[in-house]
Chain A
Amino acid sequence: MGNLILFLILAVIAIGSAIMMLFSRNAVHSALWLILNFATIAVFYIILNAPFLAMVQITVYAGAIMVLFLFVIMLLGTEQGSGVLATRRGQLWTAAGLGLVVLGSIGTALVRIGGSSVQAAAADTSPRVLAMILFENFTFPFEVTGILLLVAVVGLYVMSKQLRKG
């Protein structure tokens, strides 16, 4: 019962902040609403008994990525955007259509599973177990992801060097 009330309050905050993010006219305000949204989702993870995921969500998304966003917005001075209402022609409708497609596919997936996966959330989610899964069952994909990220960083470095020369 307590969990249900908590879930409803958080759901309202999450959806409300997402909508406010779309409709804010100021880019910094949009970013702030997005941070609130990320933080709410982190609380959802905690309710689902996955504190590790929650902390990573806050550190990576609410912390690192959104700080970068804010920095870019502030440094470029593009605070006064125009919000979702004045975008390019057809953009709004395309976005709405694609959103409906995603929503539909998530909905069908949920119906097919039929709520049985809720039990999985109660499994042991300690960092030790997570590390075991990551480094024993999925070592190869993990390493490949690491190399991909490294390649991106090296590429960025090379490109910025060339830009400085030219």
Chain B
Amino acid sequence: MENAGAVALAALAVGGIIAFVVITGFAYSTLLERKVLARMQVRVGPNRAGYIPIPRRGKDDLRLLGGVMQPLADAVKLFMKEDFTPPYVDTWVYNIAPIITVFPAVFSLAVIPWAPLPQWLADMTPHYLAPHGYLAIAPGLNVALLFILAITSIEVYGVVLAGWSSNSKYAVLGAIRSTAQMISYELSLGLTLLIPVMIAGSLNLNDIVVSQQQNGWFIMLQPIAGILFFVGALAELQRAPFDLLEAEQELSSGYNVEYAGMRFAMFMMAEYVKMIIFSAMWAVLFLGGYAGPLVSQFPMLGAVYMILKIVAGLFLMIWIRASWPRLRYDQLMDFGWKFMLPISVLNVIVTGVMIVLAEEGVFDGMLGWFGLLGG
């Protein structure tokens, strides 16, 4: 404990850098969403604010990636807007609701492993990162997955409080809808999270990644769990096709209808940061995390793989939004309780039996991927 101060400083530095990257990533994921949606709908998308001047063969103008400064323009616009507080709101709760929404979203960043630890970083942080051997803000937390579950379970509050404190029926209805949705899907999401834990035999996210380096990506071993997690994440994030919360025709936009300016932007920020987090979780739990070719030689390559996998997850979410119609409310509830929950319970039981059988050596000498489970 004599180095507590140094550890705290190092943690602040590492955490600050990672949080900065992800929050910039949030700004650019909005641009990614708008650009990709535009391409899929045969439009151009935002292309006025800024460009990267790169000469290309056969073209005279040097403009590539028109619109790279769009997030900055959006931020300036939101800052300049009037920060209007409607009358008869519960002022205290109305003001802290956006903050309560953003905090849990950013908290989950703490446990995500980004890369194996390169030597120079290990030398710089002898008491902080070096004993654990991988790059994360809070390495060595042996209940990292439970931490994620705990954070997911308190994410509801921002939405509920924003809806309730606005003193508006649309906001309250939106809040109640989204709370019911998040609580319903949290159960199957939690059960799906159990699958990687059962196979890897640890709640530590780095152990799960290492286990995937040895056994292959868990989405190959457990495609059902991988898909269920992605669907559950979509529901938890309230994204299409589960974006009932934002059904403009019915609710005019749900819990955040009374918010404007930067406070509205904070809800948006929470939403996109959560998208990044769930993408990262999907990558870590099912797509092998930072594992990939040449990672053992060049550890920081792991971070590149992580980012590529996160962007792939984001792209998939946007793709689904562009191509899927919204579910009805009763369909949403039926799907969550009557389809996803039974399947995830069954999946946990089957996986448990398979693991025990593999440990008993039933699959020895048998080809096929169950044999991998026993290690």
Q: Do A and B bind each other?
A: yes
B149-200 contacts to A, CB under 8 A, are 149-151, 153-154, 156-157, 160-161, 164, 172, 176, 179, 183
The distance in angstroms between the C-alpha atoms of A135 and B265, with both chains bound, is 48
CA distance A74 to B183 in the complex (A): 16
B143 touches A52 (CB 8 A): yes
Chain B residues lying within 8 Å of A71, measured Cβ to Cβ, are 160, 176, 179
Given contacts A67-B179, A67-B183, A74-B172, contact A126 B142 (CB under 8 A): yes
* Inter-chain contacts of B164 with A (CB < 8 A): 28, 70, 74
Asked if A55 CB lies within 8 Å of chain B CBs, one says: yes
- Given contacts A29-B93, A67-B156, A70-B160, whether A59 and B183 have CB atoms under 8 Å apart is no
Interface residues on chain B, size class: 20 to 34
- Indicate with 1 or 0, residue by residue over A58-86, a CB within 8 angstroms of chain B CB atoms: 11001110010011001100000000000
Chain A contacts for B157, CB-based, 8 A: 35, 67, 70
**In the complex, what's the smallest C-beta–C-beta distance from A77 to chain B, in angstroms?**
10
Tell me if B36 is interfacial: C-beta within 8 Å of chain A. no
* Residues of the B chain whose Cβ atoms lie less than 8 Å from the Cβ of A75: 176
Tell me, in angstroms, the Cα distance from A2 to B4 when the chains sit together.
8
Q: Point out the residues of chain A lying under 8 angstroms from B1, CB to CB.
A: 2
Q: Which residues of the other chain, B, contact A2 by a CB distance below 8 angstroms?
A: 1, 4-5
Q: Which residue of A lies closest to B148 (CB)?
A: A55
Instruction: State which of A26, A28, A63, A127 has its C-beta within 8 Å of the C-beta of B150.
Output: A63
Across the interface, B160 reaches (CB within 8 A) one of A52, A62, A74, namely: A74
B255 to chain A, nearest CB (A): 12
B370 interface residue per 8 A CB criterion: no
Complex contact A55–B160 (CB within 8 A): no
Does B269 sit at the interface, judged by CB under 8 A?
no
Give A62's nearest chain B residue, CB to CB.
B154
Q: B13: CB under 8 A from chain A? A: no
In the bound complex, CA of A63 to CA of B104 (Å): 12
Q: In the complex, what residues of B have CB within 8 A of residue A13's CB?
A: none
Interface residues of B in 83-97 (CB under 8 A from A): 90, 92-93
Name B's interface SS.
helix
Partner of A55, one of B90, B150, B179: B150
Q: Are A52 and B179 in contact (CB under 8 A)?
A: no
| Cβ < 8 Å to B, chain A residues 40-66 | 51-52, 55-56, 58-59, 62-64
Q: For the complex, is B141 an interface residue (Cβ under 8 Å from A)?
A: yes
Asked whether A32 is an interface residue with its Cβ less than 8 Å from the other chain, the reply is yes
Residue of B nearest to A3 (CB): B1
A156 to B284 Cα, complex, angstroms: 39
Kindly identify which residue among B141, B154, B161 contacts A51, using a CB–CB cutoff of 8 Å: B141
Complex Cα distance, B156 from A32, in Å, reads: 13
A59 proximity list for chain B (CB < 8 A): 146, 149-150, 153
The residue that B146 contacts in the complex, of A29, A32, A56, A74, with Cβ under 8 A, is: A56
- B105: Cβ under 8 A from any A Cβ: no
Report the separation of the CA atoms of residues A64 and B90 in the bound assembly, to the nearest whole angstrom.
24
Bound together, the chains give a CA A67 to CA B158 distance in angstroms of: 11
Q: Which residue of A lies closest to B8 (CB)?
A: A2
**Docked CA distance A63–B186 (Å):** 11
Which residues of B are found within 8 Å of A67, using beta-carbon distances?
153, 156-157, 160, 179, 183
**Distance A63 CA – B151 CA, assembled complex (angstroms):** 8
When distances are taken between beta carbons in the complex, the residues of chain B under 8 Å from A70 are 157, 160, 164
Q: Are B153 and A62 in contact (CB under 8 A)?
A: yes
Cβ-defined contact, A58 with B172, below 8 A = no
User: Given A2-B4, A74-B172, A74-B176, are A58 and B142 also a contact pair (CB < 8 Å)?
Assistant: no
Q: Does B319 count as interface, using CB distance less than 8 angstroms?
A: no
CA gap between A75 and B149 in the complex, in Å: 26
| Cα–Cα, bound, A70→B180 (Å) | 12
Contact partners of A52 in chain B: CB under 8 A: 142-143, 146
The CA-CA distance from A93 to B216 in the complex, in Å, is 64
Contact partner of B153 (CB less than 8 A), chosen from A28, A29, A63, A127, is A63
Q: Is B205 an interface position by the 8 A CB rule? A: no
**A55, B146: Cβ atoms closer than 8 Å:** yes
Q: How far is the CB of B215 from chain A (nearest CB, A)?
A: 20
Cα separation A55 to B146 with both chains bound (whole Å): 6
On whether the beta carbons of A127 and B149 are closer than 8 Å, the reply is no
Known: A32-B93, A59-B150. 8 other contacts (CB 8 A): A28-B161, A63-B150, A64-B153, A67-B156, A67-B157, A71-B160, A71-B179, A127-B142
- In the complex, 15 of the A-B residue pairs with CB atoms within 8 angstroms, ordered by the A residue number, are A35-B154, A51-B142, A51-B143, A58-B150, A59-B146, A62-B153, A62-B154, A64-B153, A67-B156, A67-B157, A67-B179, A71-B176, A74-B160, A127-B142, A127-B143
Closest 8 pairs between A and B when the two form their complex, measured CB to CB: A63-B153, A55-B146, A58-B150, A59-B150, A55-B150, A59-B153, A126-B142, A51-B143
